[in-house]
Amino acid sequence: MLSIIFGFIGLLLLDLLSISLCLVQENVARPITTAPVSPQQTPNQHAFTALSKTTWCLDTCDGLCQSAWYIPATGPTSHTALLFHDFRADKLSMADYTLLFHRLDYNVVLIDNRATGQSAGKYTGYGYLERIDARCWVETTLAKLGPDTEIVLFGTAMGAAIVGMTCGLTLPHNVKAAIMDSAYTSAVDELRYRVNRQYHLPAFTVHVTSKLVKLQAGYCLDQASPLAALKNSHLPTLFIHGAADETTPVAMADTLYTHYQGAKEFCIIPRAGHLRSYTTDRQQYETRVRGFLARHVA
């Protein structure tokens, strides 16, 4: 009888390990094969394609080569926005947001996060690894554009988490504000929500997955926490979220906003799903971003 029980427990543990390995591959590791990513076909796509772009490269602290496009404003300006995209996306997915900042007379640095697009790397860091990369991009931008440059950090979903965790670091005074669209409170909270909703698996699965991530990628999922990082930030921050987001619930944005101690604004877009706030209500989105920047960036 004991042998049957132990055998059953062993099978359960093997199943748990197998599931956790699959979660690591699906959520952390760079895809083994990737199909060419085409720009989103939005009404503004031709305008984005026509923008002048210069490729910038960055060698990270752990020896990875990262790529970005620098898109200058139409006229002289001291304002520059650094844009960070979502998980499994790349810089082309940020076309609409690039055009928004371009209309606001901002230079744009459009970044491929590690392990995506043209940037090297085997694993994504859910913002924890990328926060150091982002600070390096800030320093690179200042080196290229000059010490009078004023920087705004903008990100969507995991890109928003990158922004939040970057804000928790010591940054040059040139970084003036941050905008976080569809951010999660932590990678653990996000994965627990998705694992439960999509696969109906217990929360303990994420704990095992985090241990495997530590072995393979060098960090634990609980280290990827915008909520914890923002305790060390007082940058003016705009939180944006879709009210109908089923991937990252709006309650996470509410938690981030409620606990943040710096200057802050909150914009919830009714009926907007995950990363659909801008396309759902462009007028409100642009009005809130424009007003926020006017109040907090000289």
Q: How does pLDDT run across 112-159, given as a tens digit for each residue? A: 999 999 999 999 999 999 999 999 999 999 999 999 999 999 999 999
CATH of the domain at 265: 3.40.50.1820
- Residue 150 β-bridge partners: 79
250-274 pLDDT, tens digit each:
999 999 999 999 999 999 999 999 9
Asked whether residue 223 is domain-assigned, the answer is: yes
Q: How far is CA 195 from the centre of its chain?
A: 20
Q: Which of residues 25 and 265 earns the better pLDDT score?
A: 265
CA-wise closest residue to 117 among 135, 103, 104, 130: 130
Q: What is the pTM of this model?
A: 0.90
- pLDDT in the model for residue 29: 73
The model's confidence at residue 6, banded by pLDDT at 50, 70 and 90, is very low
In a domain, 70, yes or no: yes
Does 24 score more than 70 pLDDT? no
Quick: pLDDT tens for 227-238: 999 999 999 999
Q: Is 9 a member of any domain?
A: no
For 52-97, what is each residue's pLDDT tens digit?
999 999 999 899 999 999 999 999 999 999 999 999 899 999 999 9
- Is pLDDT at 33 greater than 90 in this prediction? no
In a domain, 22, yes or no: no
- Domain of residue 156: give its range: 51-296
Greater confidence (185 vs 21) lies with 185
- Give domain status of residue 234, yes or no: yes
Q: Residue 193 domain-assigned?
A: yes
On whether residue 221 sits in a domain, the answer given is yes
Q: Is residue 268 part of a domain?
A: yes
Q: pLDDT: is 185 or 15 the higher one?
A: 185
Phi-psi region of 200 (alpha: psi -120 to 50; beta: other; left: phi over 0): left
- For residue 177, what are the contacts with CB-CB under 8 A and spacing of at least 6? 152, 153, 235, 236, 237, 238, 292, 293, 296, 297
Number of domains making up the chain: 1
